[in-house]
Structure 1
């Protein structure tokens, strides 16, 4: 599986001016805030009255929502099943029935909630409040690694407890977890709501799973202390063009054009992807469709969205600055299906880690049951990462999900070794 230059000319939306003028010099906080909202279990569960879905919301409405988060849209790749937004600070994935919003830096991710639900009620007619006025979508997840510079965050995002209090103002039946060691640097936070089983279609509300429901596996790898030679691959120092008259033109090119290929940030992102082989993380033995969108920031940094089979994604975000280098990988790709059983998530982990060779990383894996083949294999992953030592390993039973968390440190901090 590899990308082609054609991927630079098939955006459904691209903001050339933002691409030319975006300067990441002041960027510093790599660890992202990850918000995932399942309004319904899947597209089939949308009632016959809901003729519109999340993908019917116009781009300018998503721009409006993202302004509250303090980030902008660089480009969008659209398939038959999803819209993948590449942002000035990470990514947004919009399906018919759910969204995944991942933002880094000092973004105010949770401040989009009020406007998001307002737009959904007005535009789509989805009313999801209970008798107490709180929202009860099918499922909500919010998570983040501990910040490197928490005091530089804005408002509620300085403190996890404040974030949880804010979430509880919106959602019913939320629970909070501190996963890992209770210290300032090496833990991961999770907020999750109870599953609203009433929104399932074709089965009783008390059933464990809808017959049409996705198995839904999500793998995330969060890496710090990147090998300096590895991180240098994501430095470009391209020229930043000034904004004319000091005012940014807010008009954007919504239709795909041949000019997309002249967009330097996306072209350099494409070259970084090819050089580091990040387009070859998965073995596409099934021959499904593959789309790619990447951007190289100046003076350094990289973001990319990869889409397989029109409906699955894996996304990478890298801040390579010495002293606070960080990289993240997140994927909902069903590796067994895509590879025709020739690859598993352990191999995926090895390939990702070999690109960055970090001093420390944590892995989280969500799946629908502990009997999952992927879950069972990852439970034994420690013995298969020879250059790293396990520091923490935790399993949570979260109602209809299983969560596996493992944190690793490089043995003797030997950053020149690679995983075989």
Structure 2
């Protein structure tokens, strides 16, 4: 069994003088928006500054002036973006970015990034970038080109762990494991003091968490199975500072760190370039709207030979007469 943990992500900022996404938009609208990408809302929390929806495939966060949505699996997030543009109106949108990672099982996806951009380009003009090498971990990003200027204090971070240790994978796939046990294993009390937490354990395994405090958020999504393990952390709190904790707990063979407007990215990630991990990819740019983006991929060089993975014709990589 495999599940595509790699996420598609959209961030949309609107003109608060024209609309409040918290006050003027009903939950029914968000339900339909989520359904458009073939996901469902499982639960929600609200602290007055941010509303967080836990989805069957990742998360949706809504503030007065912006939204963030991440979806995984075989969802088509671009359909939800299209729904938002058509119903809210292009004139109310100040900024939009659409991001898509390389997938483990790209052949199983209903669309690729270029398909998504062709669909988006019917509504918005933008620039397209690739962060990272084509033969390794990389992110594609679409940026709506307009006169918007980013706030330097608008920061966000992603930490993504791949191929976690056998010990971590075994624990996270334990039958009957509780949300509390997963939170304890990930030491979340260290980074989530006084946060409102909404989390869910999927069957047979998998875990999602949303946490909010004032305008701060953290979302975690765990795909723990050994053949495609993937754990993502996304937040507007500094995840680079917590990276040593995540690495110690998960012992991944590789991990990515991506940030928007972290101007000390190089200095903060330097310690990881002096450990057993090697920085395979380092990318930096500033978008026309002022957002500074950094992307780094770290790998743990292998020194021992391992056995190949035995596959079946009906298993991973061979469904629908397609191969990896």
Question: CA shift at 1:149, angstroms?
Answer: 0.8
CA distance in 1, matches of 2:303, 2:206: 23
With the length of structure 1 as denominator, give the TM-score of the two structures. Answer: 0.67
Structure ID, larger Rg: 1
Where does structure 2 lack aligned partners over 5 or more consecutive residues? 305-324
1:169 aligns to 2:122 (yes or no): yes
Please tell me whether the aligned partners of residues 164 and 251 of structure 2 are also in contact (alpha carbons under 8 angstroms).
Answer: yes
Q: Does 1:328 align with 2:223?
A: no
CA contact (8 A) 1:55 1:82 kept: no
Q: Aligned pair in 2 of structure 1 residues 356, 94: CA closer, same or farther (>3 Å)?
A: same
Do the aligned partners of 1:34 and 1:103 also contact (CA within 8 Å) in 2? yes
1:116 pairs with 70, 84, 92, which one?
84
Unpaired stretches in structure 1, ≥5 consecutive residues: 1-25, 41-45, 121-126, 130-135, 198-207, 239-264, 336-344, 415-420
Report the counterpart of residue 220 of structure 1 in structure 2: 158
Q: Distance in 2 between matches of 1:51 and 1:396?
A: 31
Shift of 1:118: 3.6
1:353 aligns with 2:247: yes
Cα distance in 2 for residues equivalent to 1:29 and 1:413: 28
User: Which residue number in structure 1 is paired with residue 222 of structure 2?
Assistant: 318
Match of residue 14 from structure 2:
39
Q: Which residue of 1 aligns with 2:313?
A: none
Give, in whole Å, the separation in 2 of the partners of 1:270 and 1:391: 35
Which digits, 9 at most, give the CA deviation of each residue in 1:291-332, with x for residues without a partner? 111111111111111213x11111110111121111111111
C-alpha separation between the residues in 2 aligned to 1:153 and 1:167? Answer: 18
- Listed one character per residue, the Cα deviations across residues 43-98 of structure 1 (whole Å, up to 9, x for unaligned) are xxx22xx4653443221221111111111111111112010111110000011111
Q: Residue 185 of structure 2: which of 275, 281, 292 is its match?
A: 275
Identify the structure with the greater strand proportion: 2
| Aligned equivalents of 2:19, 2:129: Cα separation in 1 | 37
Residue in structure 1 matched with residue 60 of structure 2 by the alignment: 92
Aligned residue runs from structure 1 range 58-73, under 5 A: 58-73=26-41
SS at match of 1:56: coil
Matches for 1:221-300 after TM superposition, within 5 Å: 221-238=159-176, 268-281=178-191, 289-300=194-205
Work out the CA distance in 1 between the residues paired with 2:219 and 2:303: 27
Report what 1:187 is aligned to: 138
Spell out, residue by residue over 1:149-171, the C-alpha distance to the aligned partner (whole angstroms, 9 max, x if none).
Answer: 111111xx2x2222221221121
- Matches of 2:7 and 2:90 in 1, distance apart? 27
CA apart distance, 1:27? 5.6
Check conservation: 1:236, 1:297, Cα contact below 8 A.
no
Query: What residue number does 1:128 align with?
Result: 90
Report the CA distance shift for 1:232/1:112 in structure 2 as closer, same or farther (over 3 A). same
Residue 406 of structure 1 and its aligned partner are, at CA, apart by 0.8
State how 1:1-80 maps to structure 2 within 5 Å. Answer: 28-40=3-15, 46-47=16-17, 50=18, 52-80=20-48
Q: Secondary structure at the match of 2:169?
A: helix
Q: Does 1:412 align with 2:276?
A: no
- Aligned 8 A contact 1:234 1:296 in 2: no
Distance in 1, matches of 2:261 and 2:279, equals 21
Task: State the partner residue of 1:257.
Answer: none
In structure 2, the residue matched to 1:4 is none
Matched residue count: 303
Taking the aligned partners of 1:323 and 1:359, their CA distance within structure 2 comes to: 13
